[in-house]
Amino acid sequence: MARKQNDASNPPKTLRERAEAMLRKSRDDVADMGTEEIQALVHELQVHQMELEIQNEELRQSQHELAESHDRYADLYDFAPVGYVTFDEDGEILEANLAAASLFGVERQNFLGVKLSRFVIQDSQDTFYLHEQAVFSSEAKQSCELAMHKLDGTQLFVQMESIRFQDPTTHAKRCRTALNDITERKHAELKLSESERRFRRLTTAVTDYIFTVRLENGKATETIHESNCFAVTGYTAEEFTTNPMLWISMVPEDDRAIVNQQVSIILSRQEAPLIEHRIRRKDGQIRWVWNVSVAQYDSVGQLASYDGLIRDITEQKESEGKIQRLNETLEQRVADQTHEVKLLAEAMANLAEGVMITGGNLHWPGPQIKYVNEAMCQMTGYRAEELIGQPPRILQGENSNKAIIKRLRNDLLKKRPHLCEIVNHRKDGTPYNAELFISPMFDTEGNHTDFVTILRDATDRKLKERLLQESVERIRAILNGTADAIVTIDSKGLIVAANSAAELLFGYTLDELINTNVSILMPPPYCDEHDGYITRYLETGEARIIGVGRELVGRRKDGTIFPMELAVAAVDHLGLFTGVIHNISDRKAAEESLRRAHALSESIIDTAQAIIVVLDTGGHILRINSFLEQLTEYTQNEVQGRDWCETFIPAEQRDWIRKLFEDTSNGNSTGENVNSIVTKSGDHRKINWRSTTLKNDDHNVIGIISVGTDITELNLTQEKLLQAGRLSAIGEAMTGLTHESRNALARSQANLRRVSRRL
């Protein structure tokens, strides 16, 4: 072992020569020693040699750990989220991490050797120069904020924190700088400044009278009146200062009590309500004002002052008075005419003919019905409240003669009476011939206001056939208007009817479908089995498709196959079967896309090299990924449905984690935090979390998803980095010690060999 160590270390030749020279000088002393003394010396030299070998091994281990620590520091430096640069006294960039190069939009290799001042805009050059001078002239940390630009010219704001250090090799002064992008903060500050400027402009534009009363021990010591006091009261601020009681003396005696009461409420530390009272201006005018006061308290909660605002509301009070007088006059007129209106209403209500009054606006959506009598209700089948507010066309139907309606409209537009007979419809849909006499109504000034209609039931024709035809047309319109294909077949499976959607879906025309077996719309084996379904149902009543919705496949005229949803209903008394066919190709494609997306998301969650946790709104575990399973030794089945805090969070952290969970759910937290979790075996791991809420289509929070990074080792690395400086100094000392140890080891080995030969 000693021989190998000696060969590995192999000191320089000059050191060997020095050791041999020293040994020759001590040869005579060794010759005089006895055997026991020589053996003791050999033993001591062997022990010393082993100690030196152990020390050398420890030194090599320390150097290896120091190298690993240096590598970890380099990784942290390169991938730190904050930009770091090192530049010399000329401002030339010597080192930069990835974040710094990315901040300015430059490749790192192109960033080195460039002067940092190149990225500083002109207005900030002086600030940067002074910052640079301060850094290189002082050992203290310096900071400043600069307006800079990226390589493409995009402007940004950067906070620089710099400190000087000395290059250990060249002993030249260097500057190490941290660059923080504060562009968003600066923009927010500019918006806030602009908002404050707008507020100040609004404040200066206010014409209300604002005053401030300063208090000491509950007594007024000073009253400050703004210049607008003259516009409201006619008195200047100096006049208020000269006469301290002017504020109450200008209030009429009848109103002083309410003003004094407001002051008393303020002094009793209560919220004072807004009051209205009068003031007597300097020119003698009596004006109505609003008076509102707000208390202000100092840092220890003492009432320090109160601010007041007085607004002139005289014109508003006068307008309110005029409105009140007009209302009283109007109420009287209404009362005078009410009796006359009641008489007219009673007369119309008792007429045998229907009476209807409508508005005078004939433009779309047309006039609205304002009044109908009881005879009109009996004739139409509607209640009065069902007709009021509706247009008269509510009484018309599809078979109302459009030409008659057009002639009627033309006469009404000319404000001429019109007599006609037209087909109307009752509420139950029953048509009837109605004789109408419509006449315009005018007010006392000759302005057209409304139309009055007298309606008589002219006939009681039988309309069953027409109603049946209308019903058929309505059904046909519904069938052709629906997006789903509808096909009706008879008991033999022959198609007797199909809507336009069926033509479009299957590619056949209606003529091609009628009297054709419905099996042409199905691929094998369904086409061969279909007639058997019908026969079985007719003979046994057993329904396999009828009355039961099913997903099948259909076949178009061109032979293409597509998925569809079929619902069949039987019209037993006619021996017909109606099928509603819905093309579900898009739905099936969406389901497949959703299935793939779900599988992809599950794969991402399970393979992600980060912790992923999904919780419901109660903090119960819905999902954890395999990374967390491996980290904590828990499985998904073990923890699903369990309380997250009770399962993973240390007891001392559970309360604030639950509070953070609530804040994140309510949108009151950024969702970022660092806390510990406990593994199944009891180990504690420190996790850096970033959480966000999960919401449904109604934007309601249904849970929280959190992504975490295990920073336990990172924290340990950071602690080791703090020791890196100390280890560096130890390393320098150990290098010297290694050199001396090697010399001593060489000497010991030489002596040992010589003594061994003599023995």
In 3D space, the residue among 199, 106, 117 whose CA is nearest the CA of residue 154 turns out to be 106
Both structure tokens of 407: 């002639």
The answer to whether the beta carbons of residues 438 and 408 sit under 8 Å apart is yes
Give the DSSP H/E element, type plus range, for residue 215.
Answer: strand 209-216
The answer to whether the beta carbons of residues 692 and 672 sit under 8 Å apart is no
Amino acid at 520: I
Burial group, residue 330, by CB count within 10 angstroms (0-12, 13-18, 19+)? exposed
CA distance 98 to 77: 9
Give the DSSP H/E element, type plus range, for residue 116.
Answer: none
CA distance 150 to 119: 7
Query: What integer is the mean pLDDT of 523-550?
Result: 70
Kindly report, residue by residue over 268-288, the tens digit of the pLDDT.
889 889 999 999 999 999 999
| pLDDT the model gives residue 601 | 66
Give the DSSP H/E element, type plus range, for residue 518.
Answer: none
In 620-711, which residue ranges form alpha helices assigned H by DSSP? 626-632, 636-639, 644-648, 654-665
**Other C-beta atoms lying within 10 Å of the C-beta of residue 626:** 14
**What domains, with CATH codes, occur in the chain?**
2-73+735-758 (no CATH), 79-180 (3.30.450.20), 206-312 (3.30.450.20), 351-459 (3.30.450.20), 467-583 (3.30.450.20), 590-710 (3.30.450.20)
Cis amide leading into 391 (omega within 30): no
| pLDDT the model gives residue 5 | 42
Residue 626: partners with Cβ closer than 8 Å, 6 or more residues away: 606, 607
Band the pLDDT of 605: cuts 50, 70, 90.
Answer: low
The answer to whether the beta carbons of residues 377 and 370 sit under 8 Å apart is no
Query: What integer is the mean pLDDT of 127-152?
Result: 92
Burial group, residue 192, by CB count within 10 angstroms (0-12, 13-18, 19+)? exposed
| Mean predicted lDDT score pLDDT of the chain | 81
CA distance 425 to 393: 10
The number of angstroms, rounded, from the C-alpha of 695 to the middle of its chain's C-alpha atoms is 10
| pLDDT the model gives residue 119 | 93
* pLDDT at residue 441 tops 70: yes
Task: Report the b/e string of 419-455 with b at 16+ CB within 10 A.
Answer: eeebbbbbeeeebbebebebebeeeeeeeeebbbbbb
Q: Terminal CA-to-CA distance of the chain, rounded, Å?
A: 21
Lowest-pLDDT choice from 115-129, 148-162, 351-365, 460-474:
460-474
Query: What integer is the mean pLDDT of 44-59?
Result: 78
What is the layout of strands, in order, in the sheet containing 93-96?
93-96, 83-87, 173-181, 155-166, 142-149
| pLDDT the model gives residue 668 | 79
The answer to whether the beta carbons of residues 145 and 159 sit under 8 Å apart is yes
Query: What integer is the mean pLDDT of 216-225?
Result: 86
Q: Which residue has the higher pLDDT, 481 or 725?
A: 481
Both structure tokens of 531: 């007639």
Q: Which residue has the higher pLDDT, 551 or 259?
A: 259
| pLDDT the model gives residue 8 | 40
**pTM confidence score:** 0.29
Query: What integer is the mean pLDDT of 492-513?
Result: 88
**DSSP states along 45-71:** HHHHHHHHHHHHHHHHHHHHHHHHHHH
CA distance 209 to 233: 9
CA distance 694 to 187: 30
| pLDDT the model gives residue 541 | 65
CA distance 393 to 405: 10
**Other C-beta atoms lying within 10 Å of the C-beta of residue 675:** 17
Query: What integer is the mean pLDDT of 545-561?
Result: 82
Kindly report, residue by residue over 78-92, the tens digit of the pLDDT.
777 888 999 999 999
CA distance 229 to 241: 12
The answer to whether the beta carbons of residues 158 and 145 sit under 8 Å apart is yes
Band the pLDDT of 136: cuts 50, 70, 90.
Answer: very high
CA distance 70 to 65: 8
Kindly report, residue by residue over 614-672, the tens digit of the pLDDT.
999 899 999 888 888 888 899 989 999 999 999 999 999 999 889 888 888 887 777 78
What is the layout of strands, in order, in the sheet containing 576-583?
495-498, 485-489, 576-583, 561-571, 550-555
| pLDDT the model gives residue 9 | 45
In angstroms, the Cα distances linking 739 to 9, 52, 296, 407, 748 are 10, 11, 77, 122, 14
* pLDDT at residue 199 tops 60: no
The answer to whether the beta carbons of residues 622 and 612 sit under 8 Å apart is no
What is the layout of strands, in order, in the sheet containing 354-359?
369-372, 354-359, 448-457, 431-442, 418-425
The answer to whether the beta carbons of residues 372 and 356 sit under 8 Å apart is yes
Half-sphere exposure of 191 (CA within 13 A, CB side): 6
**Other C-beta atoms lying within 10 Å of the C-beta of residue 674:** 12
SS3 label, residue 727: helix
Cis amide leading into 365 (omega within 30): yes
**Other C-beta atoms lying within 10 Å of the C-beta of residue 754:** 16
SS3 label, residue 623: strand
Both structure tokens of 733: 């000392």
Half-sphere exposure of 254 (CA within 13 A, CB side): 5
Band the pLDDT of 24: cuts 50, 70, 90.
Answer: low
